[in-house]
Structure 1
């Protein structure tokens, strides 16, 4: 059985409605429990994954044997089990490089969930995965895996190529996990979504107020006040109580400038 889905992991499917794109991790989490096994995963289609599945109870047919199954692992589980070795290092403000090497000669798919936390050291910002991640390991030897991230700390510099980061579970940082999970599934316009998501992360993780967010917000092609307001509203949609945050105390600095009545009403209730 073949399945094609628009990619989530690298942003190439961002122009597609959210309910028409899925990450490899999302697809496997649905199809494996339904009784299907992954036997091929292809990336040659522009912006799309192609999955080939077989039924777990299929014993083959005359002249056709069952295919070998490609194992899939969560990155932290695979590290813990000794299946892979990973070194994470800086690669700019929106990506990290994971140098990954399998320790057993079998094909495998490695994934991690959006919100996976990368802990830095030496005065550099921690980073948060802004998308689910996936890499297919079909050969021995080290492989470079570029993953999409956002800064966790507003005032700290991003990790550079020589800086190492430790991979932590998304569940250890629930606020940033919830924000990134929300944005991965939204249909916010791709020209403003990265800025709004970054602001929402700083509201959630650092309790940043309007004055601290305004300069970064000005990078979006919409008014600064609207950008900050959207970030605050999305933070609330992620289950975070923004009425106890500084951004709520600062709402008189941006709400009067809002022309969207629905957005304005959110802050007046």
Structure 2
């Protein structure tokens, strides 16, 4: 732990570098505690407290556990660390979640209570677009304001003007070292279909789509399997891309694709409104 490092300065640097971390903030204390409300710490994925202070061993174990879970699912948490007798009064057990609060036991003699808000700060999700088609360019234009780190990979000679992607790659070999969730779209529309599909198959992502008809995708599947590429791998790429919203123009098709990606990106993050479901 390096308390001398400025937490806000380090946060700024890590966010600029798009490196994942957790910001843990003490929001309430009762009785004797080492850290007080307002104390902050930055926790890295390997469990290091790189800057700041949230107290000693009484708080650290529960906070680090919550930090690991937050980085895994992208959800913030409120951890309430209390002595065992207070947990018994509330009728909760250590490790139990109730009303959005995760309860943990304070084993220290101080018998204080600390509530710590654990917030994951993750890199922007990555959108990798392979191709120079009008749909590909519309995807780049629409995705950046939605908070995606956009990589566009295609022969640069195919563009009349350079699109404003976060990363622009000449050819179909994008850098996929970006540490984030990744969504891959092939939108070549006849310009390098096979090469782009091969590159897409090599990218580890939770979403692979091809902008084209099922018939065209089936034809490309035959060509690629004839080249020795496993059919199971090719079948990870689904076609056509996007939700069926009746899209016609490149901008509308890009919108339908981003809507489909949003469904995947936000899956499990919203609590259904029961009143609307009735």
Q: TM-score range by the shorter chain?
A: under 0.3
TM-score (norm 1): 0.28
The structure with the largest alpha-carbon Rg is: 2
Query: TM-score, with normalisation over the residues of structure 2?
Result: 0.27
